[in-house]
Amino acid sequence: MLQKLLYIFSIIIITAGANLQAQELNDSYLWLEEVDGVKALDWVKQHDAVTVEKLQKYPGFESLQNKSLEILNSKGRIAMPTLHGEHIYNFWMDAVNERGLWRRSILQSYLSGTPDWETIIDIDALARDEKEKWVYKGADFLYPENKKCLVFLSIGGGDATVVREFDLVKKEFIKNGFYLPEAKNNVSWMNENTLYLGTNFGEGSMTESGYPRITKLWKRGTKISEAVTLFEGEVKDVSVSAYAVNTPERQYQFVDRGLDFFSSLRYTVIDGKLKPFEIQKDAEFNGIFKNQILIQLKSDWNIDGKNFLQGSLLGIDYDKFLAGDRNFAVIIRPEPRASIGTISTTKNYLLVKMLNNVSAELYRYTFENSNWNKQKVDAPAFGDIAVVAADDFSDKYFYTYRSFLSPTTLYFADDMGAMQKLKSLPGFFETGNLKVEQHEAVSKDGTKIPYFLVSSKDLKLTGDQPTLILAYGGFEVSYQPFYSGTIGANWLEKGGVFVLANLRGGGEFGPQWHLSAIKQNRQKVNDDLIAVSEDVISRKITSPKHLGIQGGSNGGLLVGSVYLQRPDLYNAILCQVPLLDMKRYNKLLAGASWVGEYGNPDVAEEWEYISKYSPYQNIKKDQKYPPVFLITSTRDDRVHPGHARKMGAKLEEMGHPFFYYENTEGGHGAGVTNKQIAFETALTYSYLWMQLGNK
């Protein structure tokens, strides 16, 4: 859901008043925001070296690294499909192909279980030949024949990409084809000879958030400077984009003007002219199926005397809607403790994943004679279900099922709806002696917060079990049961307890679960994590000496805040690619686009509540803290590495212990190659066992 952002300003100080200006000028670590600054990189190298040396001395480091790499490179992994015409496409990394192969096979060959793979692009070879650290970031296929595509390549794993047109018949980049240099490009096909184009056209063409502010139509054979402007947004907007929605019946064209992360103004394009697409600004437009526009409500909508409830999925005929009809059909009504997960389509099916008390169910809807008909898909229960590929010209689709103890399994549904189990992951760890429970903690305001607990069946309630809580709590992202070979082999199998917390701010129970914990209510997310932590302690599962918390990105902000507020509760804090300086987050990379979630620190009233939990501003010199492990990436162009760098420098200044590791590749993630990921994984589990494992 997080969009690609361009880093525009590195150390520009924008103020909303004398107090804020003085505080920023007193920040002695602004130089660490210079991503490739010599002094900053020297600091990184020194602290990386200290951390690596300490953690590599952990007796189990080598086995953790080897086991993680074995899992990541396992030949038993599932080659996850995308379906384009008669071909299955897959991106595959292993010990030989460290940067990966983009490959394909015929559908029937794939269904046989032993696909005859045809290499499309060897990313390792491309990187060697062009002497560039290429990372594959996906492809956009030309609909409907899929004979050409736009290939997105990142340098070092960041969100910024180079875009190159590719011939899927000849399997080669097209000479003099469409090409865009590295930028936060927003580009897609209108037709074979025209692209919707958003890129860095020069000064003033990007928003403060780093997205394209202008979208254009770019004709084949013309220069980028000759592209015709379709729409311009404002600098304060998050982004502007244009795109086509292709269905077997027809093509629809749209322009989105992103006002903030959760609100947009939309237009439909008819004969080259924009017409307002009058749905709620915060509603989610879920595409078009059988000429029915699909709208998911994030707040109640009262229109033409009818009230449609928050969390509903509505449908209405596209042409009638443009003509003024507002007689929506309610496809899904919200229920307590339930929410819509994802929506996919085939030729005749609308596939909807629902979450019921954080357990996934899959439903198949048809639209016939102006009526919506619902049927539950016979899929496994009490886990997570995900539609991973679907076909617009047939009713074929693939979905996966997984749970904490059930390896991910891929299923195929044919045109008649018959299900075929294709492949399961091998069992990467022993599960016979493990169990899964779901509990509830009571937060500070009385709200019940569910969490999953995975442990040994003979768990002894002695209060000394090494326990790790994973949490996120933001952006309406739902945390659901999942199978992880690395968590299983490196933590559960060795006696650790794993907890997955479903905090407010997420989307587990619909839009209100998210909206109840944003901006001035952000502290509720912290309170929820504290409540879960106290609950596992009160159950005598663990104690502060053996309890750790883990979060990445927004989750990094969460654990960074909570460990400062309640250092007495934890002995390990795994803080990955985090936001930590909430005074300057809106000036760094993607930050300005997240004001809708956190508030604007440049507004005095909003900084008042942000300042109370912002980690960088709340470190106390005379307080004792457990050693936090800060992890980031130099090439993360979404959440600025300066957050983690500055936090580490300030902790060091005040004499507090911490671990620090910054990978030079990887973007907003653990790494580019499996070797990099396995190394970082070994560092993290060595840290966790060192901090939590001593009884």
The pLDDT of residue 322: 96
Q: What residue has token string 């509505």?
A: 314
For the chain, give the number of residues.
Answer: 695
Are 99 and 672 a contacting pair, CB within 8 Å? yes
List the beta bridge partners of residue 270.
273
Query: In the annotation, is 668 catalytic?
Result: yes
Predicted confidence at residue 417, as pLDDT, reads: 85
The residues pairing with 83 across neighbouring beta strands, listed in sequence order, are: 88
Provide the pLDDT for residue 414: 93
Asked if 553 is an active-site residue, the reply is yes
Amino acid type, 184? K
In this structure, CATH architecture of domain 63-69+452-584+621-692: 3-Layer(aba) Sandwich (3.40)
Retrieve residue 461's tokens. 């309630």
Pick from 443, 449, 450, 511: nearest CA to 477: 511
What residue has token string 């709340």?
618
Which among 65, 72, 62 is positioned nearest to 485, based on CA atoms?
A: 72
Please report where in the chains the tokens 């990445």 appear, as a residue.
Answer: 552
Q: What is the dihedral sign for C-alpha 529, 534, 539, 540?
A: positive
How far apart (Å, rounded) are the C-alpha atoms in residues 480 and 354? 12
Residue with tokens 């010199």: 621
| Angle between helices 674-692 and 61-72 in degrees, nearest 10 | 140
What is the distance, to the nearest Å, from the Cα of residue 110 to the centroid of all Cα atoms in its chain? 28
Q: Which of 527, 574, 516 has the alpha carbon at shortest distance from 548?
A: 574
Catalytic residue, candidates 443, 561, 668, 686: 668
Helix (H) or strand (E) holding 605: helix 604-610
Q: Which residues in the chain show pLDDT less than 50?
A: 1-23
Which entry of 239, 264, 312, 553 is annotated as an active-site residue? Answer: 553
